[in-house]
Every structure is written in C-alpha cells, then in structure tokens.
Chain A
Amino acid sequence: MGIYFMIFVLAVYFLISLFNIDLIFSSLQFSFLIFKNILPAFILIFILMIIINYYIHPKQVDNLIGKSAGIKRWAFAVIGGIISTGPIYLWYPLLKDLNKRGVSHGFIATFLYNRAIKIPILPLFIFYFGIEYAVVLMIVMILASLVQGFIFEAIEKHIY
C-alpha cells in the first residue's frame, strides 16, 4: 500500500515537471532539507523501537500504557507526545507496532495530539504570542488531547 502511495506522489511530480521543471527542483531541494532535519529523529525512533522490541514484552506494554495501566497511561501519552521529536509521520511505524501489542487508539490519539506542544520551540511561541497565551493554549490543548483519547476509547469497541 505504501509503495502505491509513493508511486502516486512520484506521478504527481512527473506531471508537474511537464509544465514547470523549476518547481520540481525547488520542491526536491525543500525535501532534501526536510530529510536532513528528520534524520536525527528517525535514528531516535529506530533506537526506541529496538528498545521496545527487546526489553518490553506485550504484558509490560499493557502494564505501562495498555488499558490495565489505568490513569498512568494517559500521563505517558501526554508526556510522550510532548517530548517526542521530529514530524508526526515518523512516529506512525512505532505507534502501529504499539497498537499491534494492544495499545488503544485512545492512547495513540492523545499522544498524537500532544505532538503539537513542543518545549524546545516554546520560547519562539512566547516571542510571537506572549507567555500568558502560551500557557493557556498549552493547558487547553492537553485537556483537549485527553478528551480526544477518552472519545476514542469510548467508541473503539463499536468501530474497530
């Protein structure tokens, strides 16, 4: 499935190149910059996947971030989402693996929502919008992420 998606995108590039080849060069340059920026996060995720595959067995996954972990798993989802680096799509493989090990869609939704809060770039956010606004938005977003997680857990058994 993934390969068809990439072929589709390459076909879009090919079509655009027929009309404007400069646009393609600019886009490829932009892509190169993205790849360069995401490389450290890609390596970090690879290491995390090895650690999880090696040290954490399905039973432990369940105890830490599975349904039997209770309230603890929401704290992991929020903190994990906030401290995780790199673009959102780099985390899909790891989340897919965790889902196979029994982690709920609610946890994944909360984790993904908290990817919006990034501590290292918070100073820049404060520079543009002020500290008061930054703190309020951060708190509202964390609460919204939890509500989203609860919604997914509530509907999970009906739709999956």
Chain B
Amino acid sequence: MNNDFKKAIKSSVKSLYNSLPVIVGVVLLISIVNVLIPKSFYLKIFNKSNLLDLFIGSSLGSIFAGNPITSYMLGGELLKEGIGLLAVTSFIVAWVTVGLVQLPAEIIMLGKKFAILRNVISFIFSILVATVTVSIINNL
C-alpha cells in the first residue's frame, strides 16, 4: 500500500470519525421525534382549506424527518382523508428537502449561514414547487 493511499484512508477515517457524534445525535433525535408523535397527529392538524393547508403541509414536512417512503405513505393517507393535493405535495417536498431535526447537524457540518439559508429557501420552494406542480397537473 503506497503512502498516498494510506493518507487517503487516514483522512477519510478522520473525517467520518469526527462526524460520528453528529450522525448518532441526528439518528437519536429523529427516532425520539418519530416515537413521540403518532401518525394520527398528521391527519388531525390539516384544516381542509387550500391555502392554509399548503402552509401547514410545508411546516409539518419541515419539522419531521425520516425516510421519504414514510412521507409517501403519509401523503397517500392524507389524500384518502380528503386533504388537497397542493397540501400533500408541499408536505412531501418539505419532508425531503427541509430538515429542522437535522438542522443542528447541518449547521455543524456545513456552516450556520449555509444551513439556515438553505432550509429557509427550501421551505419557500416547497410551497412554490407544490403550487407549480399542481397547476401543471390540473392543466394537463
């Protein structure tokens, strides 16, 4: 094994090792949020009014984190319960692009300004993306 390769391994191990407390912290935080908040909560909070639900969808999606599959299933359930496509879309988009639970980790790893700005812009974008997507779908 040459020296450059050893250096590459050492530097990668160091980088991941330094990130380990952040990753463990985020996983523990995501788990406690998932256990604390029952899935039925999502259904109760929507208002069935398009504009307000759009905002609620983005806000809920931003607060909770987890596998995108969970957001699809929840989104499917919300649609079945009569929640509008606009709100469900903003919920799904915010779920995967905004992450308040993992924000502390993002701040530590990628910088405060970047992390906060990225999450704020992604929150606004979740509303815009939902509006544009549903408008296109309605006009197809």
Contact = CB atoms under 8 A, between A and B. Distances in A.
Q: Chain A: interface residue count, which band? A: 35 or more
Question: Which has the most chain B C-beta neighbours within 10 Å: A5, A8, A97, A152?
Answer: A5
Contacts of B121: 109, 148, 151
B97 A113 contact: yes
Given A2-B25, A144-B129, A93 B97 contact: no
A127 B10 CA distance: 44
The secondary-structure label for the interface of chain A is helix
A45 B51 CA distance: 40
Given A2-B21, A92-B109, A116 B68 contact: yes
Interface stretch (A9-17, A59-67, A70-78): A9-17
Contact of A27 (B22, B35, B85, B113): B35
The secondary-structure label for the interface of chain B is helix
Interface residues of B, number: 64
Interface string B84-114: 0100010001001101001011101111011
A112 B9 CA distance: 25
A104 to B, nearest CB: 11
Question: Which has the most chain A C-beta neighbours within 10 Å: B24, B72, B109?
Answer: B109
A34 B113 contact: no
B31 interface: yes
A1 B108 contact: yes
Contact of A133 (B15, B16, B133): B133
A18 interface: no
A133 B86 CA distance: 12
Contact of B24 (A6, A30, A54, A132): A6
Given A133-B133, A151-B121, 15 more contacts: A2-B21, A2-B105, A5-B22, A27-B28, A53-B7, A88-B102, A89-B99, A96-B109, A109-B118, A124-B72, A136-B137, A137-B93, A137-B133, A140-B136, A144-B128
**Cβ-closest 9 pairs across A and B:** A92-B109, A54-B8, A116-B96, A53-B8, A49-B12, A128-B76, A6-B21, A30-B31, A2-B21
